[in-house]
Structure 1
Amino acid sequence: MTLANTCLIVAALLPIVCAGLAKSKGFGKRRRDGGYDNHNPRGWLSTLQGWQARANAAQANSFEALPLFIAGVLAAQQMQAPQDRIDLLAASFIGIRLVYIAVYLADLATLRSIVWAAGLACSIGLFFLR
């Protein structure tokens, strides 16, 4: 398995990590006491505020970023681009997405947008490797 293929798995798990962070406010509490409501999870998540609400938004954005990244890695491999370059862009994407999640949770909106653009550039760059 290549590093890029491992990065595909990590990228697919990042939204789940964000979901766990968002839901952590409700862990250990009964539903009637404001704990996580598995009967109405989206409704419960919509009531979150602060960093938990941003974690939920980071979850959604992580899912949104995933298809282009997956397509980029697979296209680059299909075009037989140098694997070391594919691995570099894929690993960079993961690192950037980790920073993205951190700055999202910290509510650094401008920096978040810049970091998001860098992640997008990695995904698009995969399509142009030679």
Structure 2
Amino acid sequence: MASGLFDTTKNYSLYAVPAAWLCAFIPHAYAAFSSKSFDNRSPRTYSESLAKDQTLDQAKKNCILRAESAQMNGFENLPLFTTALLAGNLASLPSSTLNTFAAAYLASRVLYNFIYINNTTETMANVRSLVFISGVGMCMSMFVMSGNALKSGMQNLL
């Protein structure tokens, strides 16, 4: 039996899909509650409404726009992560591997959101890009590991 907070012999990886969705959604919630310009009847016009809002300074508007961009990036990235996890589960990768990749990916998304929303320098933009690439790299690693496991499994059947 594994010690610690979680039994790493159990596969918790698919629970990371709703957690990743939440990581993608939270920046939008932050943005929506950060100004009175957000109108839930027409959420896609938020950027236009925000530009016209005279009650916020430009720095705050930029922060809100970055939060919206972080949200879009999260949802754009969600299919890659979900598919990589499904491939890993299909290939019967070890639970500890799946759990580790899922947790690391979620951590990368939380860090990515934080950096993106608070970023005001070129250096931090570069750090954000590195964090993004690390999350994508984790997904690609799961695909490669899954492909190798499936290839080996198929060779053993022949």
Normalising by structure 1, report the TM-score. Answer: 0.87
Q: State which structure, 1 or 2, has the greater radius of gyration over its C-alpha atoms.
A: 2
Provide the residue aligned with 1:10 in structure 2.
19
Structure 1 unmatched runs, 5+:
30-34
Alignment root-mean-square deviation, CA: 1.6
| Structure 1 ranges of 4+ moved more than 6 A | none
Which string of whole-angstrom CA distances, capped at 9 and with x for unpartnered residues, describes residues 47-91 of structure 1? 362211100000000001100100000001101111111111111
Correspondent of 1:109 among 114, 125, 128? 125
Identical-pair percentage: 27
Structure 2 unmatched runs, 5+:
1-9, 52-60, 150-158
In 2, Cα distance between equivalents of 1:44 and 1:83: 42
Correspondent of 2:38 among 19, 36, 44? 36
Contact residue 100 and residue 115 of structure 1 kept, 8 A:
yes
Contact residue 23 and residue 45 of structure 1 kept, 8 A:
no
In 2, Cα distance between equivalents of 1:19 and 1:4: 25
In 2, Cα distance between equivalents of 1:128 and 1:84: 17
User: How many residue pairs get matched?
Assistant: 123
Provide the residue aligned with 1:61 in structure 2.
73
Provide the residue aligned with 2:96 in structure 1.
84
